[in-house]
Amino acid sequence: MIGDVLTQPPSLDALRERMRESLKGIVPDFEIDYKAELAHQINLLKKEMNAVILGHNYMEPALYQSVPDYVGDSLQLSAISAETEADVIVFCGVWFMGETAKVLNPKKTVLVPSNRAGCSLAEGISAKDVRGLKAQFPGAPVVTYVNTYAEVKAESDYCCTSGNANKVLKHLLDQGHKRIIFLPDQYLAHNTARELGVGFITAGIDDHDSIPADQPTVIGWDVRCEVHELFTVEDVNNVRRQYPDAVILAHPECSPEVIDSVDISGSTKAMVDYVEQTDAPMYALFTECSMGDNLAAQFPHREMVRSCSLRCRHMNQITLEDTLDGLRKLQYQVELPEDIIALAKKPIDRMLEIR
């Protein structure tokens, strides 16, 4: 879902009431009262500074429901950051997202409220690693998941998100490529290759010499999301046993075994769309838990199985306190070298074109 731009900040009373209504049963009232005051100050400052706040679906519910002008997944928010006319972009998400916004808006001030909001995927691969793979598989196009730092994107041909990974891979397969390097999430790469019916190997682990040259194959990397890799088939079976009517959705950063055991695999946007439109009596999500909280708040008339216990420690670095501090002190500003911005822009633009 993409929210409306907040042209005139609501009064503190109106904001508190709105938060109480939407966060009923999810956040206790005393916490809402405190957070509403912080959110009110953020909204006033945002207006004064001509700032726009982008909120990723994994933000904690009180923040998610109060200060973002737009909410969504990486792809939606990247597209918005490419078009915004605000002077300051505050990315309530992790650091690589702020970098993507900076590449698309090099002249604007881009802030991420915490400089400790990393990502196991982004930290699991370097530009040097990509150069090594390009040397090992000459001619193979490099697709990198948006969950990478700009120096890695700068070495890539295409970027993608979980929302358009299959379209980007299909685009390259249609061009006749037999080897495609897809980095860094091993599970997303494997799940997407399977969806398209092509082979998959992990660089440095599997023997690529044994694969026939004419067999389309995706070459992945040995890194996974530290949150989604923890979901197991047993978790899925437990939900099925207890809630046989529930439709189970999992993010494609989960293992192929988990994806095989659920009903639907989809990006965070696909999950939002599903919950918005479903007639299923009940649903369960296998993804970061704040997303479940946010969907429960957004669609209170749909019944969600509240079984999740996995939160992303990086996303959880982003708080209302830090967002307010970030605006007041103009911290933490994303800065990137000009050559990296120039090189990283091309694969990001391609990602935004293939949607």
Nearer to ligand SF4, 296 or 312 (CB): 312
Nearer to ligand SF4, 145 or 158 (CB): 145
Among 127, 154, 180, 312, binds ligand SF4 (CB under 6 A): 312
Smallest distance from ligand SF4 to CB 285, Å: 13
Near ligand SF4 by CB under 6 A, which window of 18-26, 78-86, 115-123, 156-164?
A: 115-123
Contact 340, 148 (CB under 8 A): no
Q: What is the DSSP letter of 122?
A: G
The CA distance from 243 to 159, in Å, is 38
Q: Map residues 202-241 to x or -, x wherever contact with ligand SF4 holds by CB under 6 A.
A: -----------------------xxx--------------
Smallest distance from ligand SF4 to CB 288, Å: 5
52: enclosing H helix or E strand: strand 51-56
Smallest distance from ligand SF4 to CB 147, Å: 5
Upper half-sphere CA count for residue 71 (Cβ side, 13 Å): 20
Q: How many residues bind ligand SF4 (CB under 6 A)?
A: 12
Q: In sequence order, which residues have a C-beta less than 8 Å from that of residue 97 and are 6 or more positions away? A: 54, 56, 74, 77, 78, 91, 112, 146
Smallest distance from ligand SF4 to CB 100, Å: 13
Find, among 132, 268, 127, 131, the residue nearest to 188 by Cα.
268
The CA distance from 293 to 287, in Å, is 11
Smallest distance from ligand SF4 to CB 44, Å: 29
Neighbours of 211 (CB within 10 A): 17
The CA distance from 314 to 318, in Å, is 8
Among 86, 121, 183, 341, binds ligand SF4 (CB under 6 A): 121
Interface of this chain with ligand SF4, residues 70 to 109, rule: CB under 6 A: 94
Among 120, 161, 217, 294, binds ligand SF4 (CB under 6 A): 120
Smallest distance from ligand SF4 to CB 351, Å: 16
Task: Sort 326 into a burial class: Cβ within 10 Å, 0-12 / 13-18 / 19+.
Answer: buried
Among 65, 147, 162, 290, binds ligand SF4 (CB under 6 A): 147
Nearer to ligand SF4, 151 or 288 (CB): 288
Smallest distance from ligand SF4 to CB 340, Å: 21
Among 73, 129, 151, 288, binds ligand SF4 (CB under 6 A): 288
Token pair listed for 65: 């429901």
**What single letter denotes the amino acid at residue 182?**
F
Contact 208, 133 (CB under 8 A): no
The CA distance from 63 to 278, in Å, is 26
Smallest distance from ligand SF4 to CB 85, Å: 28
The CA distance from 190 to 204, in Å, is 15
Task: Using CB under 6 A, list all residues that contact ligand SF4.
Answer: 94, 119-121, 147, 225-227, 288, 312, 314-315
